Structure 1
Amino acid sequence: MTSFTRAVAAENSGDLEEARARYLEVLQTEPQNPRALHRLGVVELRLGRPREAVILFQKSLAIAKDLDVYLDFGAAMAALDRWDAAATVYAAALRVAPASVDAHYGLALALHRQGRPQDAEPHYRNVLATHSHLGEVHNNLGVALQDLGRVAEAAAAHREAARLDPSDATAWSKLGVALHRMGRGAEAEAAFRKAIGFAPQDADNWHNLAGLLDAAGRPAEALAPGRLAVALAPASARNWLALGNAAHAAQRLQEAWRAASAAVLLEPSDPAARNNLANALRELGRPQDAVAQYRAALDLQPDFPVAEINLALLLSSLRDADGALAVLRTLLARQPANGEAWRRLGGVLAEAVRPDAAVAVLRNAVALDPGEPDAHVDLAMAAAMAGWSTLSVDACRRVLRLVPGHAAALGQLVHQQRLLCDWRDLDALESLLLRRVREGAEGVSPFDVLSCASTLADQQSAAARWAATKARGAVPVARPAASAALDGRLRIGYLSADFREHAMGHLMVDALETHDRSRFAVTAYSTGIDDGSALRQRFEQGIERFVDLRRHTDADAARTIAADGIDILVDLTGFTTFSRTSILAARPAPVQVNWLGYPGTLGAGFVDYIVADPTVIAPGEEGFFTERVVRLPDCYQPNDRRRAIAEATPMRAECGLPADGFVFCCFNSAYKLTPALFDGWARILAAVPGSVLWLYAGNPQVAANLRREAEARGVDPRRLVFAKPLPHAEHLARHRLADLFLDTLPYNAHTTASDALWAGLPVLTRCGTTFAGRVAASLLRAAGLPELIVDDQEAYEAAAAALARSPDRLRDLRQRLARNRPVCPLFDTPRFTRHLEAAYRAMWESHRVGGAPQPITIATDDTGGPKSAMQGEGEAT
């Protein structure tokens, strides 16, 4: 037996060291023996010495071009992860033997591993042309096709592999991946479960199932397979990431944090793991820790748009608008076509109360992605903030074309069309909006519902869903154990965005200044802008403590209020513009109250009381208010006794009014006007020849639309006169030129009615069926003019015409109003404040004895002061 024969025998028996020795013997005598060089190379490869094997294969091939040597050489290069070299060797093999299945397969694998699936595909297919029974090749072809985005073809390849071997767990798993990418979730789930059945210990199968269930909106179901994947392969960061994603979506926040932390521990240089950990920390209410992790992710991968956008949104929520803008602008400098980044930039600008800039940015977002409804929604909102109602209407209509059932856009559209007095198809839109509210649609602003022909039940339903949204993520704050002030005073906090030149500011300033400081410690918490006005300065100087929370996050603001030991927190903003309801959701005060800013229920379990009066909330309506109703004896609305009226009265001509003729006026916001109301006004003008209707129109489009509506009703458009904006004192002075204020319904005049009465102008109103539609009636009763309240449209029109024809009666009303003004409850702010304080004491007493909030009615003594605060399960009488 020759040395070569003995070497081959030793190799075949597995005695590799003996084989190596014998092949070396052969090469000592025959150093150019290609077969010995080849076989020794194979032995070295099997002994784990691929580098030595490569040298031997090269020597053998230099002597003779042999297919088997090329194939083994290619395997050696693959073992060294030298896939480029392996591809070169297998290509050389094909030049020697073009039909070699092994060479084609080796080249396919080498090309695929280099990230060249398009070059690998024909070689996989060449193998399958003669060896179609090889499931492994079908699977690898499928992976290449998936890499090329040809997912349906990939699924077919994996399905064929599974057909050839129904127990091939790999085939089922890869088929599931392809089907998932195709959006065929049920089939993908079935495939993954088949894979699990055949290979239950393969963590990848559980990982894939967890990802599928999470993506399908079934995160609670994804948790179990995610946990199994982690248990089977705890050293795999991707498994922890998948579990963390499912836990995050399932609101299992602590588990999401633990999973993301494990992923970061295993792969500290993985930016995706850092981003996920930041997401978890953000949801746990640890925003600063989240910021640090987002920044760590971006240090690892500066070009990471998802993390950049997440960081920017978090910074914006932390009131760091400059930081958020810097992050997004850096991203956009690098990716100017990133529509999502433009949209988020617009949102940050809007949040920072820079609506004009937000509109410009959001135009870019919709231009880049016109089919993205969220971009149009954001543009609609920013345009509304900027006062560009026409643009807002257009954006809302685009949203509804893209998503016909979009409730928020529908509500916004209705409100913006009302602001423009654009009544085209308005009745149908309002009916649709109310239907959506009654169906339980989310996203409808309760404020948009108030001015529709809505019921108290509609308003409560919309408010409850809105409040629940605002409460998401709010974490209750810790309050001091002893909340009673050391000086024995009750600590009242007023929360508002409107401590400035604003209708609410004018109403509440005097009442807040008039509090009895010996019994009440008053703090104003401002979340709105400082407009530098005299009214703002009056708030800051006239209230015991003034705290600016505008740049505080909701959580920080709640902590500040709680740390101050506030006993009763009164929200003066409600669901109007710039509200910060999430502050209340954190429960910074033991008693929380809804008053003045929003004429309706907040629908929130975290608000205990609503301040009202017997007119705006009639007995028996308490069930439509989530809060307990507190009824003050006269009117729920305070007024400012120091409200200045300019001494000089403008000439009629200066205001565009005719020299003669009766002047009806209504200075309400345009959104309170309705087609039915305008029908009635047209009939009143027809009944009073020579009369004009004086309206407020801040937007020129309003005047144009109303003139068109007047003409359509047979009224000369010139009989409509439009008032321009003026400083408040001058605005009050021009009321002297009007003869009668005509109120609106279903949303009354509120501050505008008290302005008119303060200026000496009688107001004619109809009493509606909701809080917002009864405010003027409450004001008139408190002013001593209840006869100006009528019940229906016919009486309203008849009364307006009759007063216009009865100058003596109208003069009598003006004189009574002038006599009443110094003494009537409506303008007696000290009287009002004593009643309000009595209500606060009753609220606090109920809390002090450990009882639940109860309805409260403030009665008066003979002097008009508070006599008692009556409480009970039913409304006290």
Structure 2
Amino acid sequence: MTSFTRAVAAENSGNLEEARARYLEVLQAEPQNPSALHRLGVVELRLGRPREAVILFQQSLAIAKDLEVYLDFGSAMAAMARWDAAAAVYAAALRVAPASVDAHYGLALALHRQGRAQDAEPHYRKVLATHSHLGEVHNNLGVALQELGRFAEAAAAHREAARLDPADAGAWSKLGVALHRMGHGTEAEAVFRKAVGFAPGDAENWHNLTCLLDATGRPAEALAASRVAVALDPASGRNWLALGNAAHAARRWREAWRAASAAVRLEPSDPAARNNLGNALRELGRPQDAVAQYRAALDLQPDFALAEINLALLLSSLRDAAGALAVLRGLLARQPANGDAWRRLGRVLAEAARPDAAVAVLRNAVAIDPGEPEAHVDLAMAAAMAGWSAVSVTACRRVLRLVPDHAAALGQLVHRQRLLCDWRDLDGLEARLLRRVREGAEGVSPFDVLSCASTLADQQAAAARWAAAKARAAVPTARPQAVAAAVAARDARLRIGYLSSDFREHAMGHLMVDALETHDRSRFAVTAYSTGIDDGSALRRRLERGIERFVDLRRHTDADAARAIAADGIDILVDLTGFTTFSRSSILAARPAPVQVNWLGYPGTLGAEYVDYIVADPIVIAPGEEGFFTEQVVRLPDCYQPNDRRRVIAEATPTRADCGLPGDGFVFCCFNSPYKLTPALFDGWARILAAVPGSVLWLYAGDPQVAANLRREGEARGVNPGRLVFARPMPHAEHLARHRLADLFLDTLPYNAHTTASDALWAGLPVLTRRGTTFAGRVAASLLRAAGLPELIVDGQEAYEAAAVTLARSPGRLRDLRDRLARNRPVCALFDTPRFARHLEAAYREMWEIHRAGGAPRPITIAADDTGGPISALQGEGEAT
């Protein structure tokens, strides 16, 4: 036996060190023996010394071009992950043996590992042309085709691999990935589950299943699958990333944070992990930490659009509009066709109270991606904020063509058409909206439901879902210990905080200012927390002067605002905005005060577990209706609405001609917002006008389209367009003065006149109302009762029309009503602010005493003591005392 033969025998038996020694003996005798150089190189490679092997292969090939040497040389390069060199070696092998299957396969793998899937494909196909039974090659070809975006061909390749070996879990898993990319979710899931069944211990299969379940909106199942993947391979950052995504979708914020933190520890240079950690921190109420993670993601990948958008939205929520706009404009400078970035820019501008600019930006978003419904939703909202109701209507209709059951767009469309008095298809739209509310749809603004023919149950259901959504991002806030200690040691005054976005020239401001000024400062420390704009008006300045503390929280985040209120040691926080425009109910959701109250701004329940009481009276919430209010009902004895004894009426009365009114004839008027008008109401008004010859109906119309639509509706009911007169917006004192030209205010239903009714009564104009079935439909009745004019409250449409006609034909009776209203104004409960303040303060005292005694909130009725001050009476569950 020769030395070479003994070397080969040792190599074949696994005695590699002996084989190495024998081959060296051969080469000592024959330094140019190509076979010995080749075999020694193979031994060195098997001994884990690829560099030595490479030198030997090169020496062998310098002597003789042998295919086997090339193949082993290529393997050595692959073992060192030198894929470029491996590709060169296999290409050289193919020049020696063009038909070599091994060389084609080696070259395919080397090219593929370099990211050259397109170059690898023909070599995989060369192998399969003669060796179609090789499932591994089919799988690798399928992976290359997926990378090339040819998912149908990839699925075919993986399907063939699975046919060749039905127990090949890898083939099934890769087939599932291709099917998922093709949008065949149901089949992809079945395939992934088959892969899991064949290889339940393979984390990759569970990871793939997680991604599919997450993408198809099944967070609980995705969470379960991702937990298995992490348990099987806890060292994989991508598994933790998938777990974090699933936990985020399931709203399990702490688990999402832990998973994202693990992904960052394992893959600190992965920008996606940083972005996900930012998302989790944002949801946990740690916005500054989230900003740092988004910025870290962008440091790693400056063109990471998703992280830029997340950062911009968070900066906007932190009231850093300038920072948010800079981020988004930078993104759009690089990607001007990024519709999502345009949409987010529009949202930031809207949140920064720049709705006109938002509309312009959102037009770009919908032009780039006209099939994206949320872009049209945002355009509708921005246009509504800008007062462009027609643009908002068009956008809402586009949303509903794309997503017919889009509840938020449906509610917005109903409200916007109401604002325009565009009643085409309105009955059908309202019926659809109420059906969606009753089906449990989320996203419907409760305010949009109030002016529909909704029930108390409908209003509570819509409010509860809205309130719960607002609470999701709220960070619980407690009084700091130092504040708690200071509260215990302070004076005996009760700390009342009023929260509103409307401390300005606004109906709420006009109603509240006198009551705020009249609070007994020896017993109550009052703070106003303003979250709205400073409009520079005289009313704003009066509010600032008339309140003990006026705090501007407009630029505070909801969390920071809640912390500020808690730090002030507020005992009772009263929300004056509710779910109207610019609501900040997430502040309430953080529970900054031990007792929280819904009052005045929103005529209905907030449906929020974090609000304890609603201030009402016996008319607006009738006995027995308490179950439709999530809050406990507090009934004041006269009227829930305060008024300003000092509101100014301009001395000069405009002429009828100035206001477009005829020189004579009876003037019915309604200065309510147009959204409170309904087709059925207008039917009745048309009949009233027909029954009172020469009369006119004077309506408020800030938008010319409102007037045009109402004239059209009037003509359809036989009303001469000249009998409809439209009032333009004007300063409040002058607006009150023009009431002197009207004879009778006709109220609306299902949503009454509220501030507009008290304005009319203050100006001396009688108001005729129908009593409705909800809070919003009974306010005018409450006002008239408190003003001493209960006979102007009727039940039913026929009685309403008959009363209007009778009063128009009875000038003496109407004059008596005016005279009585003039006599009552200085003394009636409606305009007796000190009396009102005493009742309200008694209610606050009762709320606080219940809380201080450790009791749960319960109904309260305040009974007036006309001889000195109010006394209070607590109610049992649903029972008046």
Query: Normalising by the residue count of structure 2, what TM-score does the alignment of the two structures yield?
Result: 0.96
Tell me what 1:453 maps to. 453
Aligned to 2:275: 275
Of 606, 630, 633 in structure 2, the residue corresponding to residue 629 of structure 1 is: 633
C-alpha contact (below 8 Å) 2:862/2:870 kept by paired residues = yes
Does 400-409 or 710-719 show the bigger shift?
710-719
What is the CA–CA distance in structure 1 between the aligned matches of 2:47 and 2:488, rounded to whole Å?
Answer: 83
Q: Which residue of 1 aligns with 2:749?
A: 745
Q: Give the C-alpha shift of residue 399 in structure 1.
A: 0.5
Q: CA deviation at 1:635?
A: 0.9
Q: Which amino acid aligns with 1:662?
A: F
CA distance, structure 1, for counterparts of residue 534 and residue 263 of structure 2: 46
State the Cα distance separating 1:617 from its structure 2 match: 1.2
Write the letter of the residue equivalent to 2:665.
Answer: G
In the alignment, the residues of structure 2 paired with residue 353 and residue 325 of structure 1 have an alpha-carbon distance, to the nearest angstrom, of 13
Local SS of the residue matching 1:57? helix
Structure 1 residue 246 corresponds to structure 2 residue 250: no
Residue 389 of structure 2 is matched in structure 1 by 389
Q: Which of 598, 614, 619 matches 1:615? A: 619
Structure 1 residues 393 and 82, CA, compared in 2 at 3 Å: closer, same or farther?
same
Matches within 5 A, 1:290-305: 290-305=290-305
- In 2, the alpha carbon distance for the partners of 1:572 and 1:467 equals 15
The alpha-carbon deviation at position 354 of structure 1 amounts to 1.0
Instruction: Check conservation: 1:450, 1:459, Cα contact below 8 A.
Output: yes
In structure 1, the partner of 2:715 is 711
Point out the more displaced range, 594-603 or 324-333.
Answer: 324-333
**C-alpha displacement at 1:212, in angstroms?**
3.2
Equivalent residue number for residue 736 of structure 1: 740
Shift of 1:4: 3.8
Secondary structure of 1:647's counterpart equals: coil
Give 2:730's aligned residue. Answer: 726
Task: Return the letter of the residue paired with 2:67.
Answer: L
Who is 1:805 aligned against?
809
User: Are 2:650 and 1:655 equivalent residues in the alignment?
Assistant: no
Deviation (angstroms), 1:379: 0.6
Local SS of the residue matching 1:493: strand
Unaligned stretches of 5+ in structure 1? Answer: none
Distance 1:596 1:864, change over 3 A: farther
Partners in 2 of 1:571 and 1:7 — Cα distance? Answer: 92
Instruction: Indicate how the Cα distance of structure 1 residues 731 and 312 shifts in structure 2: closer, same or farther if over 3 A, else same.
Output: same
Which shows bigger deviation, 571-580 or 181-190?
Answer: 181-190
Which of residues 831, 852, 871 is equivalent to 2:875?
871
| Partner in structure 1 of residue 93 of structure 2 | 93
Q: 1:854 to 1:2 in 2, by over 3 A?
A: closer
Match of 1:220 in 2: 220
* CA distance in 2: counterparts of 1:759 and 1:856, whole angstroms: 33
Match of 1:550 among 533, 550, 554: 554
The residue matched to 1:868 in structure 2 has which SS?
strand
Q: What residue number does 1:259 align with?
A: 259
How far, CA to CA, are the matches of 1:87 and 1:588 in structure 2? 67
CA distance in 1, matches of 2:276, 2:489: 44
Deviations 1:699-727 (A, max 9, x none): 11101111111111111112211111111
Partner of 2:137: 137
CA contact (8 A) 1:229 1:239 kept: yes
Instruction: Provide closer, same or farther for how the CA distance between residues 864 and 682 of structure 1 changes in structure 2, counting only shifts above 3 A.
Output: farther
Displacement of 1:337 in angstroms is 1.0
Tell whether 2:823 aligns with 1:816. no
Q: Deviations over 1:536-568 (max 9, x none)?
A: 111111001111111111111111111211111
Partner of 1:769: helix, strand, or coil? Answer: coil
Amino acid aligned to 1:715:
V
What letter is aligned with 1:838? A
Deviation at 1:33, TM superposition (A): 4.0
- Check conservation: 2:624, 2:878, Cα contact below 8 A: no
Deviates more, 1:158-167 or 1:378-387: 158-167
Give the distance between the partners of 1:672 and 1:426, measured in 2 at CA.
13
Given that 2:752 and 2:780 are in contact with CA atoms closer than 8 Å, whether structure 1 keeps it comes out as: yes
Mapped pair 1:116 → 2:116: yes
Query: Which residue matches 2:789?
Result: 785
Which range moved further: 547-556 or 84-93? 84-93
Q: Residue 590 of structure 1: CA displacement?
A: 1.5
Q: What does 1:349-368 correspond to in 2, within 5 Å?
A: 349-368=349-368
Q: Any unmatched runs of 5+ in structure 2?
A: none
- The worse-fitting range, judged by mean Cα deviation, of 568-577 and 197-206 is 197-206
Instruction: Give the drift of 1:190.
Output: 4.1
Aligned to 1:667: 671
Q: 1:485 to 1:775 in 2, by over 3 A?
A: farther
The amino acid across from 2:684 in the alignment is G
Distance, in Å, in 2 between the alignment partners of 1:639 and 1:775 is 13
Cα 1:166–1:763 change in 2 (3 A) is: same
The CA distance in 2 between the partners of 1:308 and 1:563, in whole Å, is 34
Instruction: Measure how far apart 1:13 and its partner are.
Output: 3.4
Residues 405-454 of structure 1: CA deviation (Å, up to 9, x unaligned) = 01110000000000000010101111111111111111111111111111
Q: Tell whether the 8 Å contact from 1:694 to 1:720 is kept in structure 2 after alignment.
A: yes
Equivalent AA in structure 1 for residue 634 of structure 2? V
1:3: Cα distance to partner? 4.3
> Is 1:53 paired with 2:53?
yes
For residues 734 and 213 of structure 1, what CA distance do their matches in structure 2 show? 64
Secondary structure of the 2:529 match is strand
2:171 corresponding residue in structure 1: 171
Cα deviations across residues 52-84 of structure 1 (Å, max 9, x unaligned)? 433443444344333222222222222232222
SS of structure 2 residue aligned to 1:665: strand
- Partner Cα distance (1:4, 1:122) in 2: 40
Which of 638, 643, 650 is the matching residue for 1:639? 643
Question: Residue 843 of structure 2 is aligned with which of 822, 830, 839?
Answer: 839
- Indicate if the aligned counterparts of 1:321 and 1:352 stay in contact, CA closer than 8 A: yes
What SS does the corresponding residue of 1:552 show, helix, strand or coil? coil
Tell me the CA shift for residue 532 of structure 1: 0.8
Q: 2:774 aligns with which of 730, 752, 770?
A: 770
Q: Residues of 2 paired with 1:622 and 1:197: CA distance? A: 55
SS of 2:175 mapped into structure 1:
helix
2:578 aligned with 1:574, yes or no?
yes
Q: Does 1:513 align with 2:482?
A: no
Q: Is the 8 A contact 1:485 1:491 kept in 2?
A: no
CA drift at 1:27 = 4.6
| Corresponding residue of 1:400 | 400
Contact 1:484–1:491 (CA under 8 A) maintained in structure 2: no
Task: Give 2:82's aligned amino acid.
Answer: R
Structure 1 residues 226 and 434, CA, compared in 2 at 3 Å: closer, same or farther? closer
- 1:621-649, Cα deviation, whole Å (9 max, x unpaired): 11111111111111111100110111111
Does the residue aligned with 2:854 lie in a helix, a strand or coil?
coil
Which residue of the other structure, out of 826, 830, 854, is the alignment partner of 2:830? 826
Q: Does structure 1 conserve the Cα–Cα contact (< 8 Å) formed by 2:843 and 2:872? A: no
Match of 2:693 in 1: 689
Tell me how far apart the structure 2 counterparts of residues 868 and 485 of structure 1 sit (CA, whole Å): 27
Q: Find the residue that maps to 1:307 and give its secondary structure.
A: helix
CA offset digits 1:106-128 (Å, max 9, x no partner): 12111211212222222212212
Q: 2-side partners of 1:596 and 1:824: how far apart?
A: 20
Shift of 1:172: 2.7
Tell me whether 541-550 or 30-39 shows the greater mean CA deviation: 30-39
Equivalent position amino acid for 2:51 in 1: R
3-state secondary structure, aligned to 2:260: helix
Matches within 5 A, 1:115-514: 115-479=115-479, 480-481=483-484, 483=487, 486-514=490-518
How big is each residue's C-alpha offset from its partner over 1:14-54, in whole Å with a ceiling of 9 and x where there is no partner? 34444445445555565544434433333333333333433
What letter matches 1:448 in structure 2?
Answer: D
How many equivalent pairs are there? 877
- Aligned-residue offset at 1:90: 2.0
215-224 or 452-461, which moves further after superposition?
A: 215-224
CA contact (8 A) 1:838 1:869 kept: no
